[in-house]
Structure 1
Amino acid sequence: MVGLAGVIATAAALEDGSALAHSAHSSWTYPSACCHGDPVTGECGKIPSTTVTPRPDGYVIILRRPGDHQKVTHQDRYFVPYDAVIPSGDDNFHICLHPTEEHENCFFAPADAI
């Protein structure tokens, strides 16, 4: 598992202050490299904590239904190694699906879950 400092550095590198980033509907903004600045297609969004399972080597995310994320139309499974996890700006899990729901671009976890 990569240390929190490495994950924070990765998140800072992703967030370039571009006008393309969009809000996470709370007090923070998704890095533009994660969401491609397209709030219309809803590439990034909060997901239920029940869809996330920690394993020794990373997180397994299973989005089962459309209500789990705005892009989901059928069950999808993702694996994100701990060194690719970005701290979320709130106490929730978030995922960015781009260019389709089949591909996870960025995954955010609460600081206490990293």
Structure 2
Amino acid sequence: MIATTAAIEGGAALAHGPDRNWGYPPACCHGDPVSGDCGKIPSATVTPRPDGYVIILRPGDHQKITHQNRYFVPYDVVVPSGDDYFHICLHPTEEDENCFFAPADAM
């Protein structure tokens, strides 16, 4: 996650994203909008806890999910999303959360 933060703060070029106004940092995204590992997820899959977010994804919630997965993301590694949605990057497998994005009003 340190590399992700450095890439974002360093103003590195952005990889593909959910719209033309912002994109996922290259340290987070491996692929393109169709085959990539980043995508918007339903807000109902995200639960805030005192120490971070718990995310439970099922097939249909994200393009890489084939079975239910649970992730925990501490608040100090959450990246602000460029829109009003939650996004997650899963790499190298669907069990591995690489980057998690939250809307500014949820942080």
**TM-score, normalised via structure 1 length:** 0.82
2:63 alignment counterpart: 70
Runs of 4+ in 1 over 4 A off after TM superposition: none
TM-aligned CA distance change 1:26 to 1:47, over 3 Å: farther
- What is the aligned-residue identity percentage? 73
CA shift for structure 1 position 98: 0.4
Give the residue type in structure 2 aligned to 1:105: N
The residue matched to 1:59 in structure 2 has which SS? Answer: strand
Relative to its length, the structure with more helix (as a share) is 1
1:13 alignment counterpart: 9
CA shift for structure 1 position 14: 6.5
1:52 alignment counterpart: 46
Give the residue type in structure 2 aligned to 1:33: A
Inter-partner Cα distance in structure 2 for 1:12 and 1:104: 17
Inter-partner Cα distance in structure 2 for 1:108 and 1:24: 12
Q: 2:100 aligns with which of 87, 102, 107?
A: 107
**TM-score, normalised via structure 2 length:** 0.87
Q: Does 1:98 align with 2:77?
A: no
Is the CA contact 1:46–1:95 (under 8 Å) kept in the aligned structure 2?
Answer: yes
Unmatched runs of 5 consecutive residues or more in structure 2: none
For the aligned residues, what is the CA RMSD? Answer: 1.8
Is the CA contact 2:55–2:71 (under 8 Å) kept in the aligned structure 1?
Answer: yes
TM-aligned CA distance change 1:107 to 1:84, over 3 Å: same
Unmatched runs of 5 consecutive residues or more in structure 1: 1-8
Inter-partner Cα distance in structure 2 for 1:78 and 1:14: 27
2:76 alignment counterpart: 83
